[in-house]
Structure formats: structure tokens, C-alpha cells
A = this chain, B = another copy of it.
Amino acid sequence: MFEKYKITLASASPRRKELLSGLDIQFTVEPSKDESEAYSDDLPWNKVPEFLARHKSDSFHRKLEGNEVLITADTLVFLENENGVMEIIGKPKDAKEAFSILRRLSDHTHKVLTGVCIRTNSDSRSFTASSDVTFGPLSPEEINYYIEKYKPFDKAGAYGIQEWIGHVAITNIDGSFYNIMGLPVQRVYRTLREMLGE
């Protein structure tokens, strides 16, 4: 499928590479060299991941080849704060911040949004996949065990669903399945088929 095209995944995430492989397509991985994640303050929160995915695509460090298809994505975790405002839960800078984030996620529902942009030389499409993830209550001992053993400092929301904490904490999900792991592959597949006419 899509054999006439050179598909490039511009992401350093091993998880995204694994998920895209699940589509049984050939592709190469070439992370973007521009990692700027700036966006305007007046952008609605639920548009941010898609904006960043498009930005990663538009600022890719080289021109696309004639038959090339570039896939970029950005995943963010959101939690409503005490003022009812949706707040981005970023990557924790240290164990203390990871603890504080996981205490907030404990016994609450948060949102995982992934924005995806798929671009060729003549066409560009983007979309957002959203999932609600509910954590049951976590004890301080459980949170500390996870942080010490798994060191989730490179992870938005301070957790990886495929790690221990994803197994013991998540009571419910609602939304896209593979989005929670980092790439909504069902919509990627459908969009590729529409764009490439196969």
C-alpha cells in the first residue's frame, strides 16, 4: 500500500514509529530539526496540538521530494485547573514536579490530544484526535515507586500508558485508542488513503 510514495515520519518517538509500522506501510524516520513549540496565547487550547503539528511540517528542515509524504504529530495532555481552565500538563523537570503532576492526575479525568499534519508538495491536511483518560486514586507510595523506577521526565503528563502506571492507574478511557499511545493511526491511514487516492 502507498508503494509509489516515500513516506517520512518526522518524529523522534519510538512509540510513534511502532504505531505507524502497525499500518503495514514502508516509511523512513527523519526527526525535524526545528523543535520550537511556540504558539499564540489566543489560540484555543484544543487547537494547540494541531497547530504545532502543522508548524513542525511547515518548518521541516528541507524541501519534500516529488513523491514524498511528510507526517508530523504533537501530543499534549490537558487537565482542568481549579478555575475551570484547561491547562497543558507538560514534561516534568524533576521528581518533585513529576510527583506534583501525578498527584493532580490521580482520581481525575484528563484529556490527551494529538494533532497530526500530513503534507505532500501539493496538498496538506491536519486533524486532532482526542481521548479522555481517567485515573483511579494513586497513593504517594505508588507515585514515588513509578517516578523512581521509570523516571518519566521526557513524558507529557509525567506518565507513559504502556508503563507500570498505565497498567495500575487507568480505570477508563473514552476516545481514540492509539492516540493515547501517541499516534491516532486509524485517522492517519484514512487520511493517507484519501490524499493519495488509494
**Chain A: residues with CB nearer than 8 A to chain B?**
19, 22-24, 136, 149, 161-164, 166-178, 180, 185-186, 189-190
Among the listed B23, B164, B169, B178, which residue makes an inter-chain contact with A24, where contact means beta carbons less than 8 Å apart? B164
Q: Is the CB of B170 within 8 A of A186?
A: yes
Tell me whether A189 and B172 are in contact (CB under 8 A): no
| Interchain CB contact under 8 A, A172 and B169 | no
B190 touching A167, Cβ below 8 Å: no
- A selection of 13 A-B contacts at a CB cut-off of 8 Å is A22-B162, A23-B168, A24-B164, A161-B177, A167-B178, A167-B186, A167-B189, A168-B185, A168-B186, A169-B186, A172-B176, A173-B175, A174-B175
Specify which chain B residues have a CB less than 8 angstroms from the CB of A175 in the assembled complex: 172-174
Which residues on B sit within 8 Å (CB–CB) of A168?
23, 185-186, 189-190
Q: Closest CB-CB distance, A189 to chain B, in whole Å? A: 5
A164: chain B residues within 8 A (beta carbon): 22-24
Distance between Cα atoms of A164 and B25 in the complex (Å): 10
Complex Cα spacing A72 to B173, Å = 24
When distances are taken between beta carbons in the complex, the residues of chain B under 8 Å from A172 are 174-177
CA distance A136 to B180 in the complex (A): 18
Q: How far is the CB of A95 from chain B (nearest CB, A)?
A: 19
Chain B residues with CB below 8 A from A162, complex form: 22
Nearest residue (CB) in B for A139 is B193
- Give me the 4 closest cross-chain CB pairs, A-B, nearest first: A22-B167, A167-B185, A168-B189, A174-B174
Report the nearest B residue to A187, measured CB to CB.
B171
Minimum distance in angstroms from A146 CB to a CB of chain B: 10
Besides A167-B189, A173-B175, 4 other CB < 8 A contacts?
A22-B162, A23-B168, A24-B149, A173-B176
Which B residues are in CB contact (< 8 Å) with A190? Answer: 136, 168
Cβ contact of A176, chosen from B149, B161, B171, B180, cutoff 8 A: B171
Q: Chain B residues near A149 (CB, 8 Å)? A: 24
